[in-house]
Structure 1
């Protein structure tokens, strides 16, 4: 998962995908044809996801897959409102998916044709289905904390017991407010609606120790270098850095579960093609497992977990030993309503 969330211009290159590996994924033809343009966050992460989860179906159904990146919310809106929609399926955060559905920027899905019983109900809306799950964990530097490290958000905020800078994603829905409230004693099942005033008061207690990151690369660099030996992390980023030999690890205590969704911009000429693929994706766990095995982000169905490699499974949010350590699933219906106001306040607070 590689993302820099801005309203800037997306990359313009449209790359034809050479689909491969269809026989191994059980893709079956439905007599399709045509094309669809897939937009995700870009980089190797996108290539991995498209290769595993889209290319096999596309090859069997004679569908040409094009790619663009990164996901850009302003561009989605501009395409829809201008009537010039060139994107067909876009990976987005759920709070934007809520907004896009409400504002008419996203197509309504024919959920009767998608086996949503396989999906977590809180991750499905009229216009969106999940494409992956990930967790906000406590990422820590194993050299800075070789024997003892924070296992709760209260300990993460304890700079006396665990000295050093703390890294947070400078983004309202980046779970820093949920973490602050958990650290301040709010029960996980009482998080929402968030008490933002209380969260800022708790964040004030460690403000001098906070270092903000804006990309996954920055997050990894902060914790691996020891500049911020504790970060609120995306679990897959810590996993990949550890695989590269960096001195980092995930702590799963009180992790916050998040997810990305897929939407079809309103007016897509290939909406029917995308919906056929979406139905196949949900019903084919092998299409999800290929991406998860490469990234340690969780698939969206239980069936796919059975196909996760034994050496990868412990690093997924949906691993049995990690599920019980989950504090909460982030409530994106809350964030759809409050994102703008909290973002403005966060930027002002960070600048003070």
Structure 2
């Protein structure tokens, strides 16, 4: 999702990632800190419990490399982590196996987490965040557009219209239940009201820095980034009110060399214990609500799956986005550059 267009044209990569050696299981997921957390939460304990040897390949959660592998008949990965829109495209393009729910235990998972060919991996949100030295009260989408009460620059990511367009429409009075299909003319007209005050950033860490330093008064960033910044003592606060919830997925590519082991791993990641590790570090929710019970009451307030927070979020319609991705991205890119 986060950079589908780039991934879709990178078909020549064939998804070799960081490993091409034979293993019992090869998992492809976003690298860096996320890979480290996945190893601690799932991969290492899965290896210890099953005796299987697992390797990890780094890829940016887009569907392009997976599509290239499947179409070339040269699938390197057994389990792949995909962002919402990308998982939707993978399903529609018939690139992924059905999940074997005789092996994967879906009992007790969140509603909608267990889909025929995908299983929910991570629940995150784009949230309204602000410089807490300048704004002391909780605010929502309307505050981004209230230049009189909350003067200053706005921090908006230049590469990702999803989340931003929804928040603009919510600020303009669209009811959450009527958000999709997105009224693009209305969303862009709303954003035009603040365009001269927007600082576009390209990486999430830049958005955090803009808000923490006071260069921007208010903006939109991922809840996990806002949580970490606040925990580390930076001048950032945020609210789930009027934010947009995203659900990333685990999938098994067609032609995977180790589909049986892939299903065993997907079953393993439904356990609450591993999800608690991810939530503690990143404040992202998992597919098993039992994991939430282990968090302190204070930490639960930072989780998008916490009931009070979940009520304030709207869930991205990845089906609508998968059908409209290219024209909306084109319009967004033109708008940000002009």
Taking structure 2 as the reference length, what is the TM-score of the superposition? Answer: 0.90
Q: 1:115 and 2:101 equivalent? A: no
By how many angstroms is 1:141 displaced? Answer: 0.9
- The answer on whether the counterparts of 1:97 and 1:127 sit within 8 Å (CA) in structure 2 is no
Q: Of residues 312, 315, 331 in structure 2, which corresponds to 1:345?
A: 331
Pairwise CA distance, 1:337: 0.9
Q: Secondary structure at the match of 1:278?
A: helix
Offset, 1:263: 1.2
Q: Which runs of 5+ in 1 are unaligned?
A: 17-33
Give the secondary structure class of the aligned counterpart of 1:274.
helix
Matches within 5 A, 1:235-254: 235-254=223-242
Superposed CA deviations along residues 309-348 of structure 1, whole A, max 9, x for unmatched, are 4442221112233233x23111111111111111111111
Q: Given the superposition, is the C-alpha separation of residues 103 and 15 from structure 1 closer, same or farther in structure 2, using an over 3 Å criterion?
A: closer
Separation in 2 of the partners of 1:188 and 1:273?
40
Q: Does residue 14 in structure 1 map to residue 19 in structure 2?
A: yes
Q: Tell me the equivalent position of 2:25.
A: 36
Match among 161, 182, 188 for residue 170 of structure 2? 182
Deviations 1:102-127 (CA, angstroms, capped at 9, x unpaired): 11222221234333343334444322
Number of aligned positions between the proteins: 330
Contact preservation (8 Å) 1:94, 1:260: yes
Q: What CA distance in whole angstroms lies between the structure 1 residues aligned with 2:255 and 2:70?
A: 7
Decide which moves more: 302-311 or 185-194. Answer: 302-311
| 1:317 is the counterpart of 2:304 | yes
Contact 1:119 1:301 survives alignment (8 Å): yes
Q: Which position in structure 2 is the counterpart of 1:205?
A: 193
Q: Deviations over 1:22-45 (max 9, x none)?
A: xxxxxxxxxxxx621112221112
Does the CA-based 8 Å contact 2:24-2:258 persist in structure 1?
yes
- Which stretch shifts more, 100-109 or 233-242? 100-109
Query: What CA distance in whole angstroms lies between the structure 2 residues aligned with 1:167 and 1:80?
Result: 38
SS at match of 1:135: strand
Counterpart secondary structure, 1:126: coil
Mark the CA change 1:297 to 1:97 in structure 2 (over 3 Å): closer, same or farther. same
Query: How many Å separate the matches in 2 of 1:328 and 1:204?
Result: 23
Contact 2:110 2:289 in 1 (8 A): no
Q: Quick check: 1:15–1:66 contact (8 Å CA) kept in 2?
A: no
Match of 2:140 in 1: 152
Residue 75 of structure 1 is aligned with which of 53, 65, 70? 65
CA contact (8 A) 1:53 1:291 kept: no
Q: Does structure 1 residue 291 correspond to structure 2 residue 278?
A: yes
Give the whole-Å Cα distance in 1 for the aligned partners of 2:153 and 2:16.
34
1:4 Cα offset (Å): 6.3
2:70 corresponds to 1:84: no
Contact 1:101 1:126 in 2 (8 A): no
